[in-house]
């Protein structure tokens, strides 16, 4: 899904929530307006007016694109209006507003927030509820298998060589070829090979869209003889197949006009139909899948003395260092998808108290029993408090932390549900020292519900780090075992140093939706709340050859 927006619709208020205006007011006419950020930056939408109601239900639906890797800020406002022209013209007309991100709504699917007046004052007990729905279409593909019987014989000295063409009828009544079967030689009752086609290609995700099937007798010179045709829809196919009546007369209109007793030119039978749902990233998130975010920070001596302004760990009160910039940019995205907003924060490559022994896996809050911090700001504070208490040392070993997060992901794997996916953000100033162990750890982690993002800070030569990113080929362990999935994204911070935090987050997180879907598809796990026994999709893995 990376780089592509998913369509979402929104509904507000009413049975979704309640609006209780100040008690001194009589029921008036309410209207809600909202503004969108991100890709829809600067755009505004307004609902219809709901008259004389203290609990308005707004029926108007708004649609916008969703991008996991971006912070898409939204603001909702409720007004008392006496007509379209009066909306928002007077301060008294403003009854409350609410700000949030699109990610927060998606993660909760149904979100209720208190309405606030100016200067952050509560608007009494008034609330607004927003619901998000994925409207991007029915993601899936269809496997069809046709056969025929008693087709017309078009050849003089042998039987017909039939093949079948399946067409989608467009809105302008033009026909778009969807699939052409192979030719079955010298056979009036052919059985064609099964084929797969996306629902989008088959019927534009509209199950009632007309389809046409044409049967031809193959001619090596290209002058194929028409045998007959029939019309149907995907909806009709499914119903007929379920009732064991999936067969259609193959009719040649010319013969029907000319021949009085003409019935058909054969019968085409739908021998098999399988519909496989391919779940999207949104399906999993809106099904309740949580993103567990862990950050690992490099505390090796190559970063420089934190007290020196040239150090990569130097804390400038006016300008965050590269570690903080990367941490906040990525963490602010991920926090919307974690209900408890607690994040594991680890360090490696330092001598830590009390014995000042080198550790490649320590909690930067120095609580080995609970390495989680409250929110991204909690991680920032733990990092800043950690710096004066540790001695930067080395080497740059990251395999221990990858293995630690992998153990948590492995425990999640045993639940048999798509409930928790792990993202490990590694911030380092140089090439890892334990490259062989790191490759081994990544290959093992590729079988688990986790992704790894490595951000290289500073001006070191990160050429060798590119080998961990599977974009140029399959990563292999020292033993030669290939990674099951490409789960690593490596980004040198200097390439995005002049860009905005949003651009950095977009770059490093763009692959996560695809990686998450690949994992759960491989494990044949549908989103939570969807039974694997009622969806064909959860029993078959998607193949890129027909989904591209």
Is the separation of the CB atoms in 403 and 346 below 8 Å?
Answer: no
Task: Average the pLDDT over 445-456 and give the result.
Answer: 96
Is the separation of the CB atoms in 248 and 232 below 8 Å?
Answer: yes
Give the C-alpha separation, 39 to 351, whole Å. Answer: 45
Task: Average the pLDDT over 312-321 and give the result.
Answer: 94
Give the C-alpha separation, 238 to 211, whole Å. Answer: 13
Give the C-alpha separation, 286 to 132, whole Å. Answer: 9
Is the separation of the CB atoms in 491 and 499 below 8 Å?
Answer: no
**What is the homologous superfamily of the domain 140-277 according to CATH?**
C2 domain (2.60.40.150)
Give the C-alpha separation, 74 to 51, whole Å. Answer: 25
Range among 20-24, 273-277, 444-448 with highest mean pLDDT value: 444-448
Whether residue 93 has pLDDT greater than 70: yes
Is the separation of the CB atoms in 429 and 314 below 8 Å?
Answer: no
Residue 202 backbone phi and psi in degrees, to 5:
-70, -50
Residue 25 burial (CB count, 10 A): 11
Whether residue 126 has pLDDT greater than 80: yes
Cα dihedral across residues 180, 184, 185, 187: positive or negative: negative
Extract the tokens encoding 243.
């009732």
Nearest Cα neighbor of 148 from 183, 179, 175, 177 is 183
Q: pLDDT band for position 44 (50/70/90)? A: confident
Strand pairing class (110-116; 122-134): antiparallel
Nearest Cα neighbor of 468 from 443, 499, 449, 504 is 443
Check for a shared fold between 6-134 and 282-522. Answer: no
Looking at the chain, how many residues does it have? 548
Sequence-separated (6 or more) residues with CB below 8 Å from residue 347: 296, 297, 298, 299, 359, 362, 363, 364, 386, 390
Q: What is the pLDDT of residues 528-540, one digit of tens each?
A: 877 554 444 333 3
Whether residue 294 has pLDDT greater than 70: yes
Q: How confident is the prediction for the chain on average, in pLDDT?
A: 84
Give the C-alpha separation, 461 to 453, whole Å. Answer: 18
Give the C-alpha separation, 168 to 184, whole Å. Answer: 23
Residue identified by tokens 């694109």 is: 65
Whether residue 11 has pLDDT greater than 60: no
Find the helix packing angle between 375-386 and 322-334, rounded to 10°.
160
Percent of the chain with pLDDT over 70: 85
Give the C-alpha separation, 531 to 255, whole Å. Answer: 49
CATH of domain 6-134: 2.60.40.150
Extract the tokens encoding 278.
């391919």
Is the separation of the CB atoms in 445 and 453 below 8 Å?
Answer: no
Is the separation of the CB atoms in 82 and 117 below 8 Å?
Answer: no
Cα dihedral across residues 493, 496, 502, 508: positive or negative: negative
CATH of domain 282-522: 3.40.50.410
Please state the pTM of the whole predicted model. 0.69
pLDDT for 521 equals: 87
CA 91 to chain centre: 40
Q: What is the pLDDT of residues 143-190, one digit of tens each?
A: 999 999 999 988 777 899 999 999 999 998 989 999 999 999 999 999
Q: pLDDT band for position 85 (50/70/90)? A: low
Task: Average the pLDDT over 273-280 and give the result.
Answer: 86
pLDDT for 431 equals: 86
Q: What is the pLDDT of residues 216-250, one digit of tens each?
A: 999 888 889 999 999 999 999 999 998 888 999 99
Whether residue 90 has pLDDT greater than 70: no
Q: Which of 240-244, 306-310, 481-485 has the lowest mean pLDDT?
A: 240-244
Give the C-alpha separation, 324 to 339, whole Å. Answer: 23
pLDDT for 544 equals: 30
H-helix or E-strand containing 68?
none
Sequence-separated (6 or more) residues with CB below 8 Å from residue 232: 210, 211, 213, 248
Give the C-alpha separation, 165 to 73, whole Å. Answer: 48
Extract the tokens encoding 443.
């290959």
Q: What is the pLDDT of residues 190-216, one digit of tens each?
A: 999 999 998 888 998 888 999 999 999
Give the C-alpha separation, 141 to 430, whole Å. Answer: 45
Give the C-alpha separation, 325 to 500, whole Å. Answer: 10
Sequence-separated (6 or more) residues with CB below 8 Å from residue 399: 432, 434, 437, 438, 440, 441
Task: Average the pLDDT over 408-424 and give the result.
Answer: 93
pLDDT for 538 equals: 32
Give the C-alpha separation, 380 to 304, whole Å. Answer: 19
pLDDT for 137 equals: 55
pLDDT for 244 equals: 83
pLDDT for 193 equals: 97
Output the DSSP codes for 24-84.
Answer: TSPP--EEEEEEE-GGGTTEEEE-PPBPS-SS-EEEEEEEEEE-TTS--EEEEEEEE-SSG
pLDDT for 534 equals: 42
Extract the tokens encoding 458.
């500073």
Strand pairing class (73-80; 30-36): antiparallel
Give the C-alpha separation, 377 to 320, whole Å. Answer: 13
Output the DSSP codes for 223-290.
Answer: -PEEEEEEEEEHHHHHHHHHTT--EEE-B-HHHHHH-TT---S-EEEEEEEEEEE---HHHHHHTTPE
Q: State in Å, rounded, how far the first CA of the chain is from the last one.
A: 12
Give the C-alpha separation, 149 to 140, whole Å. Answer: 30
Domain ranges of the chain: 6-134, 140-277, 282-522
Q: Which of 12-21, 24-33, 326-335, 425-434 has the lowest mean pLDDT?
A: 12-21
Q: What is the pLDDT of residues 330-367, one digit of tens each?
A: 998 888 888 889 999 999 999 999 999 999 999 999 99
Q: pLDDT band for position 14 (50/70/90)? A: very low
pLDDT for 418 equals: 94
Bigger pLDDT: 281 vs 156 = 281
Give the C-alpha separation, 297 to 380, whole Å. Answer: 11
């Amino acid at each position: 899904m990376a780089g592509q927006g998913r369509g979402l619709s929104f509904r507000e208020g009413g049975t979704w929530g309640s609006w209780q205006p100040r008690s001194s007011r009589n029921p008036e006419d309410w209207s809600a307006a909202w503004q969108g950020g991100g890709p829809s930056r600067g755009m505004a939408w307004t609902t219809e007016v709901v008259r004389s109601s203290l609990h308005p239900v707004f029926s108007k639906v708004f649609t916008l694109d969703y991008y996991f890797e971006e912070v898409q800020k939204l603001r909702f406002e409720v007004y008392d209006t006496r007509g379209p022209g009066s909306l928002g013209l007077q301060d008294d007309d403003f009854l409350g507003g609410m700000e949030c991100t699109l990610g927060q709504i998606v993660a909760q699917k149904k979100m209720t927030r208190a309405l606030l007046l100016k200067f952050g004052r509560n608007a009494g007990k008034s609330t607004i509820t927003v619901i998000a729905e994925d409207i991007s279409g029915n993601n899936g593909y269809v496997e069809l298998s046709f056969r025929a019987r008693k087709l017309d014989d078009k050849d003089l000295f042998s039987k017909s060589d039939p093949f079948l063409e399946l067409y989608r009828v467009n809105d302008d009544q033009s026909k778009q070829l969807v699939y052409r079967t192979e030719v079955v030689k010298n056979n009036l009752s052919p059985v064609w090979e099964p084929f797969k086609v996306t629902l989008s290609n088959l019927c534009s995700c509209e199950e009632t869209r007309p389809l046409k099937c044409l049967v031809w007798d193959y001619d090596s010179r290209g002058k194929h003889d028409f045998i007959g045709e029939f019309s149907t829809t995907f909806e009709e196919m499914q119903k007929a197949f379920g009732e064991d009546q999936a067969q259609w007369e193959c009719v040649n209109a010319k013969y029907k006009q000319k021949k009085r007793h003409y019935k058909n030119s054969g019968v085409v039978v739908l021998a098999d139909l399988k519909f496989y749902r391919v779940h999207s990233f949104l399906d999993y998130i809106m099904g309740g899948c949580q993103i567990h975010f862990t950050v690992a920070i490099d505390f090796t001596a190559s970063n420089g003395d934190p007290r020196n302004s040239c150090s990569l760990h130097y804390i400038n009160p006016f300008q965050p260092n590269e570690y903080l910039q990367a941490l906040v940019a990525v963490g602010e995205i991920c926090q919307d998808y974690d209900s408890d907003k607690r994040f594991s924060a680890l360090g490696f490559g330092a001598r830590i108290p009390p014995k000042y022994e080198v550790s490649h896996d320590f909690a930067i809050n120095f609580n080995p029993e609970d390495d989680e911090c409250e929110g991204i700001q909690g991680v920032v504070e733990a990092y800043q408090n950690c710096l004066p208490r540790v001695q930067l040392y080395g080497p740059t070993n990251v395999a221990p932390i990858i293995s630690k997060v992998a153990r948590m992901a492995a425990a999640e794997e045993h639940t048999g549900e798509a409930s928790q996916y792990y993202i490990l953000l590694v911030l380092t100033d140089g090439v890892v020292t334990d490259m062989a162990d790191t490759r081994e750890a990544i290959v093992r982690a590729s079988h688990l519900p986790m992704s790894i993002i490595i951000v290289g800070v500073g001006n070191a030569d990160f050429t060798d780090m590119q080998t961990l990113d599977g974009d140029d080929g399959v990563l292999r362990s020292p033993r030669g075992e290939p990674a099951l999935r490409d789960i690593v994204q490596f980004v040198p911070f200097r390439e995005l140093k002049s860009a905005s935090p949003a651009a950095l987050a977009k770059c490093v997180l763009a692959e996560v939706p695809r990686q998450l879907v690949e994992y759960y598809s491989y494990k044949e796990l549908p989103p939570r709340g969807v039974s694997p026994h009622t969806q064909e999709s959860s029993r078959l893995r998607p193949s890129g050859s027909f989904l591209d």
